[in-house]
Amino acid sequence: MDEVAADQEITIISAEVMSDPSVSYEHEMEGENEYQQEILQKACDYSEERRPNKRDREEDEEGWKEVGRSKEKKYKGEKIEIYISSNDKMPKQFTLAKIFKNEGIMNIEKIRYINPYKIRVDMNNENSAALLERCKEVIDRGWRIQRAMEVNMSYGVIRDVDIDLTEEEMLNRIKCSEPAQLASVQRLMRRNLEGEGWKPNWEIVIFGLFTTTPYRGSNSTTDPLDEQSTRE
């Protein structure tokens, strides 16, 4: 009898729940929330399992270390540009290279022909450049040598020169020491106070040309033309 009464009671409660729609909706929502929470918990557990463990950083007792470059930077030497010109056509490359080799001139990076009468020699050694400037073969051939950005023409003034001397006579009498060579002489003119026009002056201008320019430092103020040029 008791079992029959219990079954009847459960049937009555189920009928009441089914008859009340609000109770049924709340029951379904509770089940849905529990399902979502279970899915979310499983996803979090899976993510934690796949996440790599963080590496423990060891404390640096020294604090910091200086890091340098693995390779040292190579020093690039200064390029020396020397121009060589001649009144005649310059030799071909093979002949020119043979001349430099016979004279012991090394450290030549490049030779460029500016025109048939002028070349540019790129060098990377100061001693070799100075040797080229003093090369006897170059001097004997009458070639003119000049470094880039270097003025190889200078001038000076000589006073109290006889009026009767011609320019040719002055060229023969005036001498200057090597490596400068006297290029030309020109007498200055002054205004004629007694009349119109100009008349010869007691002063002359001499022009000197370097053919074998020695190397001078950037602080050098030596004039290429010998300041002690005198008359015989």
Q: What is the pLDDT of residue 8?
A: 52
Its CATH class, for the domain covering 77-150, is alpha beta
Q: How many CA atoms lie within 13 A of 205 on its CB side?
A: 8
Residue 117 has pLDDT above 80, yes or no: yes
Going by pLDDT thresholds of 50, 70 and 90, the confidence category of residue 41 is confident
**Structure tokens given for 153:** 């023409």
- Check residues 22 and 39 and name the one with the higher pLDDT: 39
pLDDT tens-digit readout, 76-94: 567 888 889 888 889 988 8
> 0.75 cut: is pTM over it?
no
**Whole-number Å distance between alpha carbons of 114 and 144:** 14
Q: What is the pLDDT of residue 51?
A: 62
Domain boundaries, the chain: 77-150, 152-232
Rounded distance, CA 214 to CA 94, Å?
27
Is the pLDDT confidence value at 165 over 60?
A: yes
